[in-house]
């Protein structure tokens, strides 16, 4: 694994003193990797071969850190309508589930034991290193004890087609939509609805954060972070609305449910890393914030370490029930 964006993703671009250097080194972005200036994460694979640049990569340590909070946040209310759809699929063969942008496979570890019947998960990511982790720690059994099998596929979800999803029972993705462009979300919705396949798309950032106690800088940092998320045509906090529209326009029934992280003293390690990435990205977007942001981050980290900070990071989960085509 190269270092690249995995361990050092966004810095506070001031002339660092010793303390600032410490903060800068530790940055991990809160809702996806913070890109180096000019980078965009979804274009690079299409440009593969034209240079030595790689797309930004996600640290498995970061994905592991967030897995518990993700599991606690996911919208259980969307599971029953999904189970009903899956139970009504024609034929008695097991489920085939594609998890797009699977990372280390946390979605499968959460969902497979909540669905009945044998399942074959096809885990897609562009990062082979993460796919390796996903294969090793894959779920083994369904809610009713049926067998769960897994295969991995390396590729770009921006190139998804209905043919890739032929025979699929379900498509899932978690913490993925906000790093896609509108065109990629349209491609995604085309593929799912074209294949008549339901999609459970969880934990898309909503662009809202509540910190308690509050600080006058909270809103300014949040706004700059959201602007950073929207760089280079990526949708960031607009992704969830774009996905709802894309699926609805293609005839799917769409249900949305909030899925916020609720971070208190028990989640201080995650909160601290999230804070570093959140503030780091905001300052990368607005370097003029750096001097005040340095103070802000230091005080927030101190409050976090003392168990005096609570953070709600708002996300949304989406279930899109496409019209069945009869093929799945």
Ligand X SMILES: C[S@@+](CC[C@H](N)C(=O)[O-])C[C@H]1O[C@@H](n2cnc3c(N)ncnc32)[C@H](O)[C@@H]1O
Q: What angle do CA 61, 65, 68 make, to 5 degrees?
A: 140
Q: How far apart are CA 39 and CA 55, in angstroms?
A: 8
Q: Pick between residue 205 and residue 301 the one whose CB is nearest to ligand X.
A: 205
Using the rule CB under 6 A, give the single segment among 14-22, 73-81, 126-134, 282-290 that binds ligand X: 126-134
**313 near ligand X, rule: CB under 6 A:** no
**130 near ligand X, rule: CB under 6 A:** yes
Query: How do beta strands 170-174 and 199-212 pair?
Result: parallel
Distances (CA, A) of 133 to 88, 98, 142: 33, 17, 20
Among 175, 185, 244, 293, binds ligand X (CB under 6 A): 175
Helical ranges in the chain per DSSP H: 4-7, 18-25, 60-73, 79-87, 106-111, 128-136, 182-194, 218-229, 239-249, 268-285, 290-305
Q: Which residue is nearest to ligand X (CB)?
A: 103
Q: Pick between residue 40 and residue 162 the one whose CB is nearest to ligand X.
A: 40
Q: Pick between residue 129 and residue 292 the one whose CB is nearest to ligand X.
A: 129
Is-contact 24 16, C-beta < 8 A?
A: yes
Residues 215-274 that bind ligand X (CB under 6 A): none
**101 near ligand X, rule: CB under 6 A:** yes
Q: How far apart are CA 280 and CA 99, in angstroms?
A: 29
Q: Pick between residue 203 and residue 217 the one whose CB is nearest to ligand X.
A: 203
Q: What is the 3-state secondary structure (H, E, C) of 122-152?
A: EEEECCHHHHHHHHHCCCCECCCCCEEEEEE
Q: How far apart are CA 106 and CA 108, in angstroms?
A: 5
Mask for 34-73, x = binds ligand X (CB under 6 A): -------xx---------------x----x------x---
We find the least distance from the C-beta atom of residue 297 to ligand X, in angstroms, to be 22
**103 near ligand X, rule: CB under 6 A:** yes
**294 near ligand X, rule: CB under 6 A:** no
We find the least distance from the C-beta atom of residue 255 to ligand X, in angstroms, to be 20
Q: Pick between residue 107 and residue 289 the one whose CB is nearest to ligand X.
A: 107
Q: Pick between residue 281 and residue 289 the one whose CB is nearest to ligand X.
A: 281
Q: How far apart are CA 285 and CA 232, in angstroms?
A: 12
Q: Which residues bind ligand X (CB under 6 A)?
A: 32, 41-42, 58, 63, 70, 101-103, 106-107, 125-127, 130, 156-158, 174-176, 179
């Amino acid at each position: 694994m190269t270092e690249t964006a995995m361990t050092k993703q966004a810095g506070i671009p001031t002339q660092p003193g010793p303390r600032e250097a410490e903060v800068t080194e530790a940055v991990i972005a809160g809702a996806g990797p913070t890109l180096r200036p000019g980078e965009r994460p979804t274009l690079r694979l299409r440009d593969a071969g034209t240079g030595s640049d790689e797309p930004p990569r996600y640290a498995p340590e970061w994905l592991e850190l967030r897995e518990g909070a993700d599991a606690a946040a996911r919208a259980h209310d969307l599971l029953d309508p999904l189970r009903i759809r899956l139970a009504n699929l024609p034929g008695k063969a097991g489920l085939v589930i594609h998890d797009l942008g699977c990372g280390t496979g946390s979605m499968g570890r959460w969902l497979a034991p909540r669905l009945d019947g044998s399942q074959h998960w096809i885990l897609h990511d562009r990062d082979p290193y993460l796919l390796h982790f996903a294969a090793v720690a894959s779920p083994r059994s369904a809610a009713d004890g049926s067998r769960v099998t897994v295969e991995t596929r390396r590729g770009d979800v921006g190139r998804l087609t209905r043919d890739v999803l032929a025979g699929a029972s379900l498509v899932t993705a978690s913490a993925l939509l906000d790093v896609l462009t509108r065109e990629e979300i349209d491609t995604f919705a085309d593929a799912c609805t074209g294949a008549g396949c339901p999609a459970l798309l969880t934990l898309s950032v909503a662009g809202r954060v509540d910190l308690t106690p509050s600080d006058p800088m909270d809103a300014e940092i949040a706004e700059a972070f959201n602007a950073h998320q929207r760089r280079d045509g990526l949708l960031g906090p607009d992704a969830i609305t774009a996905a709802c529209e894309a699926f609805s326009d293609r005839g799917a029934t769409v249900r949305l449910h909030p899925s916020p992280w609720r971070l208190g003293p028990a989640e201080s390690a995650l909160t601290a890393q999230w804070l570093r990435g959140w503030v780091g990205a905001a300052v990368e977007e607005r370097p003029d914030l750096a001097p005040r942001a340095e103070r802000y981050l230091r005080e927030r980290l101190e409050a976090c370490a003392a168990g005096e900070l609570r953070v709600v990071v708002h996300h949304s989960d989406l279930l899109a029930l496409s019209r069945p085509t009869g093929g799945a």
